[in-house]
Amino acid sequence: MKVNLTRFLIFALIFFILSVFFISLEKNNTYDTKNLVGESIDNFQLNSFYNENEINEKSLKNNRFTLINFWASWCGPCRLEHKYLIKLKKNNKNLIMLGVNFKDKKKEANKFLLNNGNPYHLMAMDSTGKESVNFGIYGIPESILINKELKIIKKIIGPMNNSDYKKIMRLTK
C-alpha cells in the first residue's frame, strides 16, 4: 500500500509540474506598457530639476497636451531622439514638454542641455529611478503623451524617430 501511495504522489507531482509548464507556455511574459494608452496619470510628485518645488498632476492640467520624456545625459538613444524633441518644441505650440532626468548627475544633465539645446518647458529629476516606475517606465528613453484630462494618448518606448514626431504633431493639432 505504501508503494501505491508513493507512486500516486510521484505521479501527482509530475502532473502538477507539467501542468504549470504548459500553462506558462500560453502566457505572454513580455513587459509591455503600451497598454497604458487610455489610462489616466494621477497623483504623482516629481522633484523639480531647478529648485525645491514639486511637479505634479496639477502642474500639467492647464496644458492642452504634455509630452513627458524620460531621459539621461549618459543615454545614447536619448541623444538620437533629442533632435525630434527640439523640433517639437519649435514647431508645436499646443505641446508642453516635461523632461524627467533619470538616474543622472545634475551637472552632466545641464552640460548635455547646454550643448544640445533644451527642449523642455518643465524639468524634473528622478535620481533613483523609483518615481519613473510609477509611470510604467522600465528603460530610457521613453515618452508619454497626455491630454488635458491627463489621459495617455500615446506611449513611445525607445528613442523617438521621425514617424513618432509626425504622429505627435498630428495628435496635438
Gap between the Cα atoms of 33 and 23, Å rounded = 23
Residue with cell 501505491: 4
pLDDT tens, residue by residue, 142-167: 999 999 999 999 999 999 999 999 99
On average, the pLDDT of the chain sits at 90
| 71 vs 24, residue with greater confidence | 71
> Structure pTM?
0.81
CATH superfamily entry for domain 34-171: Glutaredoxin (3.40.30.10)
Lowest-confidence pick of 20-24, 43-47, 48-52, 82-86: 20-24
The strand order across the sheet containing 95-102 reads 54-56, 45-48, 122-126, 95-102, 65-71, 142-147, 152-157
Gap between the Cα atoms of 56 and 45, Å rounded = 5
pLDDT tens, residue by residue, 128-144: 999 999 898 989 999 99
